[in-house]
Chains A and B, each alone.
Chain A
Amino acid sequence: MATGDVALGNAEPTPGTKDDLSARKPVINDFSIQVATVNGSGSQSANSVLLRSIFGMGIPVSGKNLFPSNIAGLPTWYTIRASKDGYVARKKEIDIVVAMNGETAKEDILSLPAGAVAIYETSLDLQQYRSDVVCYPVPFDKLTAAVCPEAKLRKLVKNMIYVGVVAKIISLDMKAVETALRRQFAKKQKAADLNWAAVEAGYNYAAESLPKQDPFVLERMHATEGKIIIDGNAAAALGALFAGVTVVTWYPITPSSSVVEQLIDYLKRYRVEPDGKATFAVVQAEDELAAVGMVLGAGWAGARSMTATSGPGISLMAEFAGLGYFAELPGVIFDIQRVGPSTGLPTRTAQSDLLSIAYLSHGDTKHVMLLPGSVKECYEFAIAAFDLTERLQTPVFVVSDLDLGMNNWMSEPFEYPEKPLDRGKVLNAEDLTRLDGFARYKDVDGDAIPYRTLPGTDHPKASYFTRGSGHNEKALYTERPDDYQNLMERLNRKFETARTLVPHPIVVQDGKSKIGIIAFGTSDFAVIEGRDQLRKEYGVETDYLRVRAFPFTREVHDFVASHDRVYIVEQNRDAQLLSLLKLDLPAEDIVKLRSIRHFNGLPMDALSLTDEFVLQEGI
C-alpha cells in the first residue's frame, strides 16, 4: 500500500476510466514518485540517483525514506517530490508508484488516486485492479538478467532498471542521471558501469515498449544552482565539528546514530593533527545514562561535549539532566525525535519529546531547547548550542526529528561561523590571584550566571565542590531554607537570561491578518505550503511565526497578543507546544490558542493542515 494512505484510511480506489486520462494537460515539475520496495534490497542507491538527477536538472526536490524497524525483508517506501514551487513537505497523494515489492503491490496500486501511474513487474499483472491508472508493466527480471550475468548482484542491479524506466517516462535528462550515478559509485568504476548499463536497459525498454500515456514530465529549471543536498544529522555533525567539539559520547539509537557516525568521519578527517594525535575523544557508552554522565563530566572539566539520542535515551537521561541544571554543568544533547511513547515506532517521525525535555528530571527543572527547522539550522543551532551551554552553564538540547535528521534536503550552503567560540565565564589562576578567590555560585554580574573554574587550574583557591545536593554561593553543602530558595530563584533568573540569548523566531506578518499560525521544526514545510493553499483556494491570509527555541522569546508573546486566533501546528497528540505556550502566556492570550496536530508517524503534509484549519474556521 502506498504510505500516503496507510494511516489515513482512504485506500478506496477512486472510480474513473482510462479514457479520462487521455488529453490531460501536462503536469510539469510538480508531482511525487513513490518507490515501494523491501528493506535490505539495496534500493537506496537507486533512489538517491533519482533524487540527485532531478536536483541536477535544477528542479527543487525532496526525498523521504519511510522504512520499518527491521534489518531486511519488510516493506519500505521512498518518496521523491519534485516541486517547481519549492515545496518540500510530504505530499499526501502519490502520482507515480514504482511497485517493486510483490507483497504490497496490490495495495500500492489500489491506494493511488485516479490518473496516477503504476510501474511494476509484468508478471504482477496489476492492471486488472485499476482501469483509471496508467499502467506500465516492465519485465524487470528479464531485463536485469540480460545486463547482469552475475546472479547474486541482480537484486541490487534491478533497482537501476526502474531508474531508467522512470527516467524515460518523466523525461529525466540522462546526462543528469549519469552524473548522479557516477557520483553515487564514485570509487567503484565497475559497479558504476554495471549500474549504468541497467539504467540504459530500463530506459531503452521504456522507449521501445511503453508509449507515454500520463501527463507527468520534468523540464529543466535553474532553482538548485549553488545548493547542497544533505541530511539533518550530517548537518548537525558538521555544526558540532565547527563548534570545536572535543568529547563525543553516544549509545546507538535510531534515528540519532548517524549524527555521531557522520561526526566520527568528519573528526577523523579534519581533527587529527600532523603527529597523528586526535583533538577529540569519542566514546560509545554502555547506555544513555553513561553517555550523558560522560558529557557532563567532560563539560565540568572544560570540554565542549555532546551526545546524540532519541526519545528512550532522553527518558534515561532524566536524572543527569536535573544534575546538569542544578549543579550548572555544560553539555549539548541532540534529540532526534521518533514516535513514542516507549519503543513506539522507532523509524517514524514525531515532535513529541518537547514537553518531556522542557522539564526533564524531578524537582523544579527546566531546560533550554533549540528547535531547528531545516538542515541549515541543524548546523547553525549545533554551533549555537555549544556557545549557549558554556555561556549559560546548563545543558542545552537541540531537538530535531527523524524527518529532518535522516532524510536528504536541499539547502543553501552553510556559512562559516563569524563569531569566535564563546567559552563562557571561566576564571584562570591569574584571575583568582587578582580576585583573591571566588564564590562558585555567586551572581556577580547580575545576569544570574556565576563564574566557574576548571579542574587543573593552578591556584590554591581554584577548587570548589560540585554536587547535586543543596549548596550555597560558595558551593558548600547547605539545607538552609534561604540558601535553597535563593539558589532556585537565581536559576530562574538565569533562565530569563537564556530567553534573551536563544535564537529568535522567524515571523511572517503583514499586520493585516487577524489569524496567526505558530509551528516549529519540520512542521514548517507543511505550514509554508498550507498557507499558500489557504490563500489560493480559500482567500484566507495568515501570519506565521516559527518558534526556534525554548524559553520563548518576547516575539512569541507579541505575536499571540496581536492576533485574534492563533493555530498551533505540531506533530504530536497532546499539543505539547501549545501546552508550553499556555504556561508562558498571559490568561487573555491563552484563550486565543487553537490546536492542529498530526501524529501518525508520517511527516506532516499541507492538506492535513489546511483541512483542519478550514474545519475549525468554519469556512
Chain B
Amino acid sequence: MTVEHAHAGHAQAQAQHGDMPFMSMVDVTKDLPRSRDGLPMEWVEVPFGPMFPGLPGGLLLTLTLDGDAVAKTRVRSVVGGGGVLPTAGLDATSFIAHLGAMDPLAPVAYRLLACRALEAAAGQVPDEEIRRRRIAVLERERIASHLGWLAMLGLQTGFAWLERHATRMQLECLRADLPRILQLRSTIQALTARLVRTPLLRSRLHGSGIVRPSSDLRGPVARAAGMRCDARIDDETYAALAFEMTERQGGDAFDRLHIRLGEMQQSLALIQSVGGFAEPASTVVGSASGAGHASLETPRGEAQLHLVLESGRVVQAQLDTPTTHHMKLLPDLLDQQELGDALTTVCSLDLSPWEVAA
C-alpha cells in the first residue's frame, strides 16, 4: 500500500522556495484541505482491509486521514453474497445449506433461520424438544462468536493475552459437547471478571464509538445503547427457558463488551437448561407451497428472512441482516475520531462482511 502523499509535493515546495525571496507558509499550504479547526493539512487516503489484522476479513474500510483523525469513511464488503438465491431456485435442504454457507461466522444461525422460514411457509410446527435443542446449538454458536470477537478485539487493541486465550476458548467451544461446554463456564466467568477489572481496557474502550438508539441498531449494539431489541424476547421457547434480555445505557464500545460478556454466561445457562443439541440441518417440507417469514437473534443481532416456496422449492427469498444496518452507521460514527479509536469502534460493532452483498 503506497500513498502518493508527500515527497513530490515537498520537492515542488523546495523549488518554489529557491525562486521566492520569502518562504510563505500561506502560499505553500493554500491548496491543502482544511481540518475542522481550520488547520491546512495534507490528507491521506488509507485502505484498511480486506485482509487487515484486527478487522473482519473481507471488510474494506477506506479512511481519509486528516493527521490521525478520520475525515471521510468508505466501507464495503468484498466477500459477501448477502444470501442471493440462484435464479432456478433451490430445494429445501439445499436452501438451508446455501444460507448456512453464506456466513461462515454464523452458519448455525442462518441454517436455523432457513429452517424456521421453510417451516412457516409449509405450515409446520416442529416438536418442542427439537426447538429447544436447536436453541442450544444457536446459543453455543453465540458463545463461540462472542469469543471470536473478543479474540479480534485483543488483536486490534494489542492485548496479546486476550487474543490467544479467547481464540483457544473459541476453538474449544465450537467442538464442545454438552459436558465440555458446561466445564467452560468457570473459565468464561474468570475471563469476564478479568476483562471487567482491567482498567486499561476500560479506558481504551470507554467513550469510543458511542451510538444513540436508532432504527438501524441491532443485537448487542442496540442493547448496549439501551434499546430493548432482541428477537428472543418474543420467542415462546426462550420464554419457557426464563430468558431475560440484558441491556446497558452508555452505547459505547465498553458497553458492547459488557453486553457480549453477559450474553456468554446467559447462553451457558440456557444450554444447561436445555440439556442437549440438535443441529438445524434439514426440515421436511414435501411439495408444500406458500410464503414464510422468520426472524432470529444471530450473534450480531436480529436477522429476518422472507421466502416463497413453490412445490417444495424456494423460488424467492429476501434476507435482512444486522451488518447491513450497522455498516451504514460507520461514516458518521467514525467522523473526526482518532484512528485507533475509529478502528476500535469498527471492531466493537462485530461486523460480518459475509452478511452484506459485495
Query: Are chains A and B native binding partners rather than an unrelated pairing?
Result: no
Interface set of A (CB-CB < 8 Å, partner B): none
Interface set of B (CB-CB < 8 Å, partner A): none
